[in-house]
Amino acid sequence: TTNELLLAIETSCDETAVSVVRGGREIVSNVIASQIQTHEQFGGVVPEIASRKHVESITLVMEQALSEAGVTFRDLSAIAVTQGPGLVGALLVGIVAAKSLAMALELPLIATHHIAGHIYANRLVHEIEYPSVALVVSGGHTELVELEREGSFRIIGQTRDDAVGEAYDKVARALQFPYPGGPHIDRLAMEALGEIELPRAWLEPDSYDFSFSGLKSAVLAVINQTRMKGGELDKGALARGFQTSVIHVLVEKAIRAVRELGAKQLLLCGGVAANKGLRAALTARCQAEGISLLVPPLSLCTDNAAMIGAAAHLKWKSGEFTSLEMKAEPGLSL
Ligand code: KG4
Ligand code: ZN
> Could you tell me if 28 and 71 are in contact, meaning their C-beta atoms sit under 8 angstroms apart?
yes
Question: What letter would DSSP give residue 329?
Answer: -
> Could you tell me if 254 and 210 are in contact, meaning their C-beta atoms sit under 8 angstroms apart?
no
> Could you tell me if 142 and 158 are in contact, meaning their C-beta atoms sit under 8 angstroms apart?
yes
CA of 1 to the centre of ligand 1 (A): 33
Q: Give the pLDDT score at 42.
A: 82
Atom 16 of ligand 1, nearest CA residue: 271
For the chain, 334 residues long, give each residue's pLDDT as a single digit of tens.
689 999 999 999 989 999 999 999 999 999 999 888 888 888 888 898 989 999 999 999 999 999 999 999 999 999 999 999 999 999 999 999 999 999 999 999 999 999 999 999 999 999 999 999 999 999 999 999 999 999 999 999 999 999 999 999 999 999 999 989 999 999 999 999 999 999 999 999 999 999 999 999 999 999 999 999 999 999 999 999 999 999 999 999 999 999 999 999 999 999 999 999 999 999 999 999 999 999 999 999 999 999 999 999 999 999 999 999 999 999 999 9
Atom 13 of ligand 1, nearest CA residue: 182
**Residue 294: its H or E element:** strand 292-294
User: Alpha helices, DSSP H only, in 41-163?
Assistant: 47-69, 88-105, 114-120
Pocket test for ligand 1, best of 10, 11, 45, 138 (most atoms within 8 A of CB): 138
Q: Give the pLDDT score at 268.
A: 98
Q: Give the pLDDT score at 1.
A: 62
Which atom, in ligand 1's list, is nearest to the CA of 172?
14
Binding-site residues, ligand 1, Cβ < 6 A: 13, 138-140, 165, 168-169, 180-183, 186, 270-272, 274-275, 302-303
Pocket test for ligand 1, best of 240, 247, 272 (most atoms within 8 A of CB): 272
Which atom, in ligand 1's list, is nearest to the CA of 187?
26
Q: Which domains does the chain have, with CATH numbers?
A: 5-119+301-317 (3.30.420.40), 130-295 (3.30.420.40)
Which atom, in ligand 1's list, is nearest to the CA of 139?
7
Whether the CA torsion 122, 124, 127, 130 is positive or negative: it is positive
